[in-house]
Amino acid sequence: MVIGRPGGRWRNPRAAALVAVSLLALAGCSDGGNDTEGKTPTGASSKPEGSDKAEAPEDPSTATPLAEVKSGDLSLSVTSAVHDDGGFVTVSGTVTNNGGKFWTASDWMGDERELTKNGASLAGASLVDTKEKKKYLVLRDTSGRCLCTKFADGGVEAGDTQEWYAQFPAPPEGSNEVTFQVGSMPPANVTVSSGE
């Protein structure tokens, strides 16, 4: 079909361009009558076969801990320790204040002057490779900010539980047994798993 004004010429080239673009847009809206192409049939799952086990990561507050340690009214759970492809280990878990007053995370900050700008955080945490007897400190960026949780309120309210994470350089291949420690908490022995 040819669209134009009588005589075959458009007086306004912009109008001609607008008509052409409109026709292309209308043509693009049509799927050629194939309503099922690229769509998941009703009632069918969009997940690939055999992916039923590949669910979303477990919530750290409900995951079965790899390790639990306590110091006074404070309890720390390690729920995940994963060796990632980027050459680092991410350790995560929860901290619960079982006491009757606000807990300040001051002794978790670390002693280094560079770490003070992180405020109340896990900047002072460490990971010890028990096989190689090597200690790893929390990774930080070029500005000295730790790759770890920073407690927004400076700690944890009485009766509250907060999630945390900290990233470390990865121990060598085969060194999967590590000890995580932060502040005055006892060491927590965990096994690092491989990331997917």
Which of the two residues, 108 and 25, has the higher pLDDT score?
108
Which H/E stretch holds residue 150?
none
What pTM was computed for the model? 0.66
CATH annotation of 67-194: 2.60.40
Per-residue model confidence as pLDDT tens digits over 12-47: 544 444 444 444 444 444 444 444 444 444 444 333
Percent of the chain with pLDDT over 90: 45
DSSP type of residue 1: -
In our burial notation (b when 16+ CB lie closer than 10 A, e otherwise), range 106-136 reads: eebbbeeeebeebebbbbbbbbbbeeeeeeb
List pLDDT tens digits, range 117-168. Answer: 788 899 999 999 988 899 999 999 888 889 999 998 889 999 999 999 999 9
Q: CA–CA separation, 99 vs 107, rounded Å? A: 17
